[in-house]
């Protein structure tokens, strides 16, 4: 049976988030953004190991506390100038661990709210898929195309339009070959590199909670989602506790 591994490119500077340090190390809900992004992956029983691709010379990673993930987490200091380059370099660095037919799930370091339900759905729907696929959500808003003066040039039909998310899940051999021939400057996600080979990745329903932190206001929304999830988990634990003390009489 094929194994599954996760890979998180975390070598970027995240300048659009407006932070004084790389976005993946900005703290929300008491932990770095990167910690939240890899937590669901590192805890999932189907995933053998999580590779974190860092910039060469990254000194911040070692200052963070990753002990709860134990040996399931492995940093790779081989990040490139682009996302595609970082993912490709990470795949090369992991070649002695990952087999050609193993699954690789590439996840954004800036998506801290990935849920186990979405991850389970990705595994279930792609288990026997010949190509692989990605989490995504259908476009719900009206889409406008702008001209150079920031005026509406056209209203685009939103039928069959989806917003790509991560993880994006492909076999190791297919993914590395797709990225090998892709233009790093033009490749914004792994599915795009696979599409360039003439293949059609499968879209798996994601969640709007699995947002990508790009701008400063996204941090507040992500923290709200994370704290909401923490409260739900604590509430669930309380509900599961057995009742102690004298039983009430049934009337």
- What superfamily does domain 4-240 belong to in CATH? Spore Coat Polysaccharide Biosynthesis Protein SpsA; Chain A (3.90.550.10)
DSSP one-letter string for 92-104: HHTTTTS-TTSEE
- Please answer whether residues 169 and 122 qualify as being in contact, where contact means their C-beta atoms are separated by less than 8 angstroms: yes
Q: What is the pLDDT of residue 20?
A: 73
Q: Show the tokens assigned to 249.
A: 């009489």
CA torsion, ordered 43, 125, 204, 223, to nearest 10 deg: -20
The pLDDT value recorded for residue 12 is 82
pTM: 0.88
CA–centroid distance for 180 within its chain: 21
Segments of the chain scoring below 70 in pLDDT: 14-19, 230-251
Domain range list for the chain: 4-240
Q: In what order do the strands lie in the sheet with 162-171?
A: 73-76, 47-54, 4-10, 103-106, 162-171, 132-138, 202-205
Predicted confidence at residue 186, as pLDDT, reads 87
pLDDT at 21: 86
Distance from C-alpha of 98 to C-alpha of 54, rounded to nearest angstrom: 19
| Cα Rg of the chain, angstroms | 20
């Amino acid at each position: 049976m094929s194994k599954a591994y996760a890979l998180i490119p975390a070598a970027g500077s995240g300048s659009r988030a407006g932070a004084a340090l790389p976005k993946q190390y900005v703290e929300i809900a008491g932990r770095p953004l990167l910690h939240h992004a890899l937590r669901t992956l590192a805890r999932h029983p189907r995933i053998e190991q999580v590779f974190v691709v860092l910039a060469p010379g990254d000194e911040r990673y070692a200052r963070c506390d990753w002990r709860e993930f134990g040996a399931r987490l492995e940093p790779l200091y081989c990040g490139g100038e682009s996302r595609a380059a970082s993912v490709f370099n990470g795949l090369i660095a992991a070649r002695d661990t990952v087999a050609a037919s193993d699954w690789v799930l590439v996840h954004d370091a800036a998506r801290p709210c990935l849920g186990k339900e979405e991850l389970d759905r990705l595994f279930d729907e792609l288990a026997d898929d010949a190509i692989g696929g990605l989490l995504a959500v259908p476009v719900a808003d009206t889409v406008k195309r702008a001209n150079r003066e920031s005026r509406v040039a056209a209203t685009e039909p939103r039928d069959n339009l989806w917003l790509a998310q991560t993880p994006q899940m492909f076999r190791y051999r297919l993914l590395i070959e797709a990225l090998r021939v892709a233009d790093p400057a033009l490749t914004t996600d792994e599915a795009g590199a696979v599409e360039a080979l003439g293949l059609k990745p499968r879209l798996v329903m994601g969640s709007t909670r699995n947002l990508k932190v790009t701008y400063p206001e996204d941090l507040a929304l992500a923290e709200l989602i994370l704290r909401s999830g923490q409260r739900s988990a604590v509430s669930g634990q309380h509900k599961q506790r057995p009742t102690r003390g004298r039983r009430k009489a049934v009337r």
